[in-house]
Chains A and B, each alone.
Chain A
Amino acid sequence: MVSNMNIVETEGVKKYYPIRGTIFSRQKRFIKALDGISLNIEKGEIYSLVGETGSGKTTLGKILVGLIPPTEGAVKIDGIDIYSLRKKEIKQLRKKVQMIFQDPYESLDPKYKVKDIIEEPLKFNHIEYSKDRIIELLDFVSLKPPEDFINKYPFQLSGGQRQRVAIARALAISPEFIIADEPVSMLDASIRANFLNILKDMNRNYNLSILMITHDISIASYMGKRISVLYRGKIVEQGSNYEIIKNPLHPYTIALIESIPLIGKRDKEVHIKDEISSNIPVDKGCNFYPRCPFAMDICKEKEPELEVISQNHLVSCFLYKQ
C-alpha cells in the first residue's frame, strides 16, 4: 500500500444541528455549524485553523478526533475513513490522534495525581511503559524537576502547569496527530510564548502533525505552515502562511489582519461592518454578506465557492471571479 502523505483529509464535511421551530412551521431549519469543509493536513505539518466564536472550529476538531460524527462528508485519518470504523477499530485510531483542550481547569480529573493523568492513556491502550517515560514527558513540557510534580494534584498547579500536564498526557502514547483547540487562550501572556514553543518543539522533535485551532490570527501565523480561515461554518480562504498574511484576499481575512492589536499601532482602520445580531442564519448568498464592505448584488443571491487563485491560495469570494 502506498503510504499516505496526509495525516488528515476531509471532503465536504458538514455538521447541521436542527432548530426546533414552532408547531406551525413545517419546514425544518438547521444551524449549519460546518458547511462543506475540505482540507488536508500533511504529515509533520502544523496547520492553523482561524475563526471567531461560533465559526465551527471546535466542531471540526471534535469531528477529527472522532467525538461527534459529521452530518455528511468523509474524514480520513492516515488514509482510513474514521466514521466507517467499528468500535474496536476506533480504539486503534485513538492511539494516533490526541486532543488538547482549551480549559486546563476542566480537562484534568481533579481526583487524579499528575502521574495518574499521564498514565491513563497508556493503560487504556495497553501500552507498556516505565516510570522513566513519565519523567521524560514531564521534563519535555518543562515541568522541572519532574519528581516534584509527579505526585501533585491539579489543584496544586497553576493554569500554565495544568496545560503542560495536558500536553504530556496527549504525548504519552506517541500519537501522530494532535488537535490543539485554543490551547493558550486561558494562559497569561508571559507563559503563552513558552507554551507555543513547546508545541513547535513537539512538531520538530517527533515529526508530529498538529492542528492549531485559534481565534488569533497572529498565533495562527506564528504556528502554521498553512492556514485556513473559517467564517460561519465555511472556509473562506485557505493557503500558505505567507499568502494568507501577506496577500489576504477575502474581505474577512483582510479585516482580521487589520484588527490585530499590535504594540503601538494606534488609529488603525478595520474594514468590516458590525455584526447586527448574534445568529441570523443567512438563507441564501454569502455568509459574510451582511458584514462585507465590498458586497455586491450577486453576493446576496449566490453562495461563492472556494476556488483556486494561485498554487498556494484558495478563496471563496465573488470579487475574485472573472
Chain B
Amino acid sequence: MIEIKNLIVKYKAEKGFVHAIDNINLKIDDGVIFGLVGESGSGKTTLGLTFLRILPKNAIIKSGEIIFSGINILNLPENEMIKYRGKKISMIFQGAMNSLNPVINIEKQVAEPLIYHDNLSLDEALKIAREKLKMVGLPENVGKSYPHQLSGGMKQRVVIAMAIITNPEVLIADEPTTALDVVTQDRIMKLIKSLQKEYNLTTILISHDLPIVSEVADKIAIMYGGKIIEVGEYYQILKNAKHPYTIGLLSSIPEPGSTKEIKGIPGEPISLVNPPPGCRLYNRCQFASDKCKTYDYSPKMVEEKHEVYCTLYGE
C-alpha cells in the first residue's frame, strides 16, 4: 500500500508561492487503478513528480510523507532513491510519445532502463525489450523501426513498454491518452487495464478527463486547487457524487443523442499563488456560505470508503 500523509508541495514564484499540493492525505491499495482527476493547475502532475522526486528546482516539499512498502521515499538519500525511480516506480509522462529519440530504433530505446538499472548486456536487454513490445500489443517488426514510422497510438504503446520493462510495482501514468484519437484512447486504456489485471500493477492514472478515468479506475480522487476534494470507489464518485465540483464535472459531459443542456461550473479555476484561506471553490460554488471562508478541509465520511471535503456535509 502507498500512503501519502500531510503532503505539502510549493513552487517559488515571482509573487510568492504556488500552493500546488496543499496538505494531501491519500491511501492507495496494491493492485488497483487509482484515478486522479483534476483540471490544469489542480496539482495532479506535481503529485506524480513528487513520487519520483523529480520536481523542478523551484519546488519545495514543505512537509509530508509518501510511504511505499514501509519506507518514506521522501526521506531516502539519492543513492537509495535511484532504486525506486524508474525501477520500482515507473512513470509515463505527459506527451512522452513525442519525446522518443528519432535516431535510435524502438527496441534499443525500450531496452535502455534495463541496461541502466539491472546492468544487463545489450543483447539480454533487447531480448526482454522485444517481449515487452509484444506484450503491449505491437507487431514484431516494430522493434527495428524508428519513431517517425509509427502512429501516435503505437508510440504510446512503446512508451508503456519502456515504463514496464523493469517490472515496476507502481506505474504512474500522466495523461496517457491526451492528444490521441478517441478510438486509440480506448485501446490504450484497455491496455493499461489489462496490465493491471495480469501483473497486479498498481496504477496511478492522472487525467483531466473524468469519463475516460471512470471506465477503468477502481478508485477515484478528485482534485481541485491543490486539494483532494472527494475520494471513493469509482461507482460512489459516479453515482453518488457529493462535492459540488464533482457534481458540476459530471453534468458538463455531453451525451451523444441527448438534447439535455450541459452545464459547467461558472467562473475560472482559482490561482494557486497565495490563495485565501477556506474552500478553494468558494467563488465558483452555488452553495457557498460563510462557513466555507474558514473551512479547514477536514474530511467527512459520507459512506464507507467515500470521503468528501465540503462544509455541506457537516464539519
Interface on A for B, CB 8 Å cutoff?
52-53, 158-161, 188-197, 215-219, 221-222, 241-242, 245-246, 255-257, 259-266, 268, 270, 272, 274-278
Instruction: Pick the contact of B254: A160, A221, A255 (CB < 8 A).
Output: A221
A217 to B256, CA, bound (A): 7
Interface on B for A, CB 8 Å cutoff?
39-40, 137, 139, 148-154, 179, 181-187, 208-212, 214-216, 234-235, 238-239, 245, 248-257, 261-266, 268-269
Contact (Cβ within 8 A) A222 B262: yes
A270: nearest residue on chain B (CB-CB)? B186
Contact (Cβ within 8 A) A261 B182: yes
Collect the chain A residues with CB atoms within 8 Å of residue B261's CB.
Answer: 197
B267: nearest residue on chain A (CB-CB)? A191
A277 to B149, CA, bound (A): 6
Instruction: Pick the contact of A221: B238, B245, B256, B264 (CB < 8 A).
Output: B256
From known contacts A191-B268, A261-B215, A263-B211, infer whether A278 and B151 are also in contact, taking CB-CB under 8 Å.
yes
Contact (Cβ within 8 A) B245 A278: no
From known contacts A189-B210, A262-B211, A263-B238, infer whether A194 and B153 are also in contact, taking CB-CB under 8 Å.
no
A52 to B151, CA, bound (A): 12
Contact (Cβ within 8 A) B208 A259: no
B28 to chain A, nearest CB (A): 20
Instruction: Pick the contact of A190: B211, B212, B215, B245 (CB < 8 A).
Output: B245
- The total of Cβ contacts below 8 Å across the A-B interface reads 138
- List 10 A-B pairs, minimum CB-CB distance, nearest first: A193-B264, A188-B39, A222-B254, A261-B211, A193-B252, A52-B181, A221-B256, A190-B265, A194-B264, A245-B257
Contact (Cβ within 8 A) B214 A160: no
B264 to chain A, nearest CB (A): 3
Collect the chain B residues with CB atoms within 8 Å of residue A278's CB.
Answer: 148-152
Collect the chain A residues with CB atoms within 8 Å of residue B150's CB.
Answer: 277-278
B262: nearest residue on chain A (CB-CB)? A193
B132 to chain A, nearest CB (A): 17
From known contacts A264-B238, A266-B216, A275-B153, infer whether A193 and B263 are also in contact, taking CB-CB under 8 Å.
yes
A193: nearest residue on chain B (CB-CB)? B264
Collect the chain B residues with CB atoms within 8 Å of residue A241's CB.
Answer: 257
B178: nearest residue on chain A (CB-CB)? A185
Collect the chain B residues with CB atoms within 8 Å of residue A52's CB.
Answer: 181-183
Collect the chain B residues with CB atoms within 8 Å of residue A274's CB.
Answer: 137, 153-154, 184, 187
A151 to B205, CA, bound (A): 40
Instruction: Pick the contact of B262: A159, A196, A246 (CB < 8 A).
Output: A196
Instruction: Pick the contact of B269: A188, A194, A197 (CB < 8 A).
Output: A188
Contact (Cβ within 8 A) B183 A190: no
Other than A245-B257, A266-B215, A274-B187, give 15 A-B pairs with Cβ distance below 8 A.
Answer: A191-B268, A193-B251, A217-B182, A217-B256, A218-B255, A261-B185, A261-B211, A261-B212, A261-B214, A262-B255, A263-B210, A264-B235, A265-B214, A266-B216, A268-B186
A191 to B268, CA, bound (A): 7
A-B contact pairs, 7 of them (CB 8 A): A52-B183, A53-B181, A189-B39, A218-B256, A261-B214, A265-B214, A278-B151
B94 to chain A, nearest CB (A): 14
A193 to B254, CA, bound (A): 8
A50: nearest residue on chain B (CB-CB)? B182
A245 to B255, CA, bound (A): 10
A221 to chain B, nearest CB (A): 4
A262 to B254, CA, bound (A): 9
A278 to B153, CA, bound (A): 9
Collect the chain B residues with CB atoms within 8 Å of residue A261's CB.
Answer: 182, 185-186, 209, 211-212, 214-215
A259 to B190, CA, bound (A): 11
B155: nearest residue on chain A (CB-CB)? A278
B300 to chain A, nearest CB (A): 22
A266 to B239, CA, bound (A): 14
A278 to B180, CA, bound (A): 12
Max chain B C-beta neighbours (<10 A), residue from A53, A158, A188, A255: A188
Contact (Cβ within 8 A) A161 B268: yes
Max chain B C-beta neighbours (<10 A), residue from A192, A257, A274: A274
A113 to chain B, nearest CB (A): 19
Collect the chain A residues with CB atoms within 8 Å of residue B179's CB.
Answer: 53
A47 to B275, CA, bound (A): 42
B253 to chain A, nearest CB (A): 6
Contact (Cβ within 8 A) B152 A158: no
A276 to B139, CA, bound (A): 9
Collect the chain A residues with CB atoms within 8 Å of residue B209's CB.
Answer: 189, 261
A255 to B254, CA, bound (A): 18
Contact (Cβ within 8 A) B151 A277: yes
Collect the chain B residues with CB atoms within 8 Å of residue A262's CB.
Answer: 211, 214-215, 253, 255
A218 to B152, CA, bound (A): 22
B90 to chain A, nearest CB (A): 24
Contact (Cβ within 8 A) B254 A264: no
Collect the chain A residues with CB atoms within 8 Å of residue B149's CB.
Answer: 277-278
Contact (Cβ within 8 A) B257 A221: yes
B262 to chain A, nearest CB (A): 4
A131 to B150, CA, bound (A): 53
From known contacts A188-B40, A193-B262, A194-B266, infer whether A215 and B181 are also in contact, taking CB-CB under 8 Å.
yes
A188: nearest residue on chain B (CB-CB)? B39
Collect the chain B residues with CB atoms within 8 Å of residue A277's CB.
Answer: 149-151, 154
B248: nearest residue on chain A (CB-CB)? A190
A196 to B263, CA, bound (A): 10
Collect the chain B residues with CB atoms within 8 Å of residue A194's CB.
Answer: 263-264, 266
Instruction: Pick the contact of A259: B185, B210, B234 (CB < 8 A).
Output: B185
A218 to B257, CA, bound (A): 8
